Amino acid sequence: MPPIITAFERSPDGGKGLARDTRVRWALEEVGQPYEVRLVSFQAMKQSAHLALHPFGQIPTFEDGDLGLFETGSIVLYIAERHAGLLPDDANARARAISWMFAAVNTVEPPILELVTARILEGDKPWSKERLPLVMDRIRDRLRQLSSRLGDADWLDGQFSAGDLMMVSVLLRLRASGILDEYPNLSAYVARGEARPAYQRAFAAQLAVNTR
């Protein structure tokens, strides 16, 4: 039996690939593992059956036999540790790739999530216009450091890894803001991620759900 992931019945982004199931689909496509998808509605996500699987009532989840996992980062790591293609063989290089996975979700994504909050939850507040540049500048602080580290390399540390998969996925959230274009090497890095056949398949699969 292939593993089962959950995804939005209707993604809030309408199929732009920013919902986190895309990250898990991408990982599964990179390692060539088939999977099944169970779609969940916003109502169902907050009910006990789903909360038993995901305590924070979100998607994606990952069920593989007796095992139920939540949190995209840990699902991607689980897949990467069990199939070739997302982590280097060398133990040290492997540990460094996992550092980049955590950097994506704990250092780069938090200021980006602040931008999402500022726009979606506080877009109608009186402070919104004056505050937005501060939020953008905090994102730029991180992008400048990331851009400097990446330099003219294709990927963050040698071959493409789960660290790149997570970092590209996090940066993709910025595309609409235009900030990414201020860092041409990061913009090219994200484009390289998107050009991967595995990403293309993952993107098409989530788009198909959202344009039924």
Binding residues (CB under 8 A) for a second copy: these are 51, 55-58, 66-75, 77-78, 92, 95-96, 98-103, 105-107, 109-110, 113-114, 117, 121-122, 125-127, 130-131, 134, 138, 142, 145-146, 148-149
CA distance 30 to 133: 37
Report the C-alpha gap between 137 and 144 in whole angstroms: 10
Rama region for 151: left / alpha / beta (φ>0; ψ in -120 to 50; rest) = left
Nearest to 75 by CA among 20, 133, 134, 156: 20
Shortest distance in whole angstroms from residue 126 CB to a second copy: 7
Q: With respect to a second copy, which residue has the nearer C-beta, 11 or 72?
A: 72
Block residue for tokens 């790739």: 97
CB of 66 to a second copy, least distance (A): 6
- Least distance to a second copy, CB of residue 111, Å: 8
Of the two residues 46 and 184, which places its CB atom closer to a second copy in the complex? 46
The minimum distance between CB 101 and a second copy, in angstroms, equals 7
Kindly state the smallest distance separating residue 208's Cβ from a second copy, in Å: 27
Burial readout 152-163 (b: 16 or more C-beta within 10 A, e: otherwise): eeebbbeebbbb
CB nearer a second copy, residue 34 or residue 126: 126
Q: Are 191 and 109 in contact (CB under 8 A)?
A: no
Helix, strand, or coil (residue 132): helix
Residue number, 145 or 200, with CB nearest to a second copy: 145
Phi, psi of 127 (to 5 degrees): -90, -5
Q: Which is nearer to a second copy, 9 or 122 (CB)?
A: 122
